Structure 1
Amino acid sequence: MGILTSRALRALERFNSAYPWDHNAHYHRWILRQLPRRFGRALDVGSGSGDLARLLAGRAAAVKGIDADPVITARARELTPAGLPVTFTVADATADFPDETYDVITCVATVHHLPFTSSLTRFRRHLAPGGTLVIVGLARPRTPVDHFLGAVAVPANAAVGWLKNKGRRSPRPVSMTAPTRPEDMSYDDIVREARAVLPGARMRRRLFWRYTLVWRQG
Structure 2
Amino acid sequence: MKQRVLQAIHRFNRAHPWEHNAHYHPWIMRRLPRQFGAALDVGCGSGDLARLLATRAEVVDGFDADPQIIAVARERTCPSARVSFLVGDALTDIPPGSYDDVITCVAAVHHLPFTDAIDLFRRRLAPGGTLVIVGLYDECTFGDYLFGAASVPLNLAMGWLKNTPRRAPRPASVAARSRPAEMTFSEIASDARTALPGVRLRRRLFWRYTLVWHQPLLDP
- Shared fold, TM over 0.5: yes
SS at 1:95 equivalent: helix
C-alpha separation in 1, matches of 2:170 and 2:111: 22
Cα-to-partner distance string for 1:149-175 (whole Å, 9 max, x where unaligned): 10110010000000001169x999644
Deviations 1:131-150 (A, max 9, x none): 00000000111001110110
Residue number in structure 1 paired with 2:103: 105
Q: Structure 2 matches for 1:64-103, cutoff 5 A?
A: 64-102=61-99, 103=101
RMSD: 1.7
Indicate how the Cα distance of structure 1 residues 92 and 35 shifts in structure 2: closer, same or farther if over 3 A, else same.
Answer: same
Checking the alignment, whether the CA contact within 8 Å between 1:18 and 1:171 is kept in structure 2 is: no
Report Cα offsets for 1:7-53 as digits up to 9, x if no partner.
22221111110000000000000000000000000000000000000
- SS state at 1:128 partner: coil
Alignment deviations for residues 111-150 of structure 1 (CA, whole Å, 9 cap, x no partner): 0000000100000000001000000000111001110110
3-state SS in 2 of match to 1:166 = coil
Q: Is the 8 A contact 1:45 1:108 kept in 2?
A: yes
- Distance in 2 between the 1:70 and 1:11 partners? 35
Residues 9 and 73 of structure 1: CA distance in aligned 2, closer, same or farther (over 3 Å): same
State the alpha-carbon separation in 1 of the partners of residues 40 and 172 from structure 2: 21
Equivalent pairs, count: 214
Shift of 1:57: 0.1
Deviations 1:49-70 (A, max 9, x none): 0000000000000000000111
Larger mean Cα displacement after TM superposition, 140-149 or 89-98: 89-98
Q: Does 1:44 align with 2:41?
A: yes
* Structure 2: segments with no counterpart, 5+ residues: none
- For residue 211 of structure 1, what is the aligned residue in structure 2? 209
Change (3 A) 1:5 1:100: farther
Distance in 2, matches of 1:86 and 1:38, equals 15
Q: Which amino acid aligns with 2:78?
A: P
Q: Within 2, Cα distance between the matches of 1:6 and 1:172?
A: 31
Write the distance in 2 (CA, Å) between the matches of 1:31 and 1:83: 24
2:155 matched to 1:163? no
Q: Distance in 1 between the 2:180 and 2:142 partners? A: 19
1:121 maps to what in 2? Answer: 119
TM-score (norm 2): 0.93
The one-letter code of the counterpart of 2:22 is A
Select 2:52's aligned residue among 41, 49, 55: 55
TM-score by length of 1: 0.94
Provide the rounded CA distance (Å) in 2 between the counterparts of 1:180 and 1:136.
16
Aligned counterparts of 1:148 and 1:187: Cα–Cα separation in 2: 13
Kindly state the Cα deviation for residue 96 of structure 1 after the two structures are TM-superposed.
Answer: 1.2
Q: Aligned partners of 1:54, 1:215: CA distance in 2, in Å?
A: 22
Alignment identity in percent?
A: 61
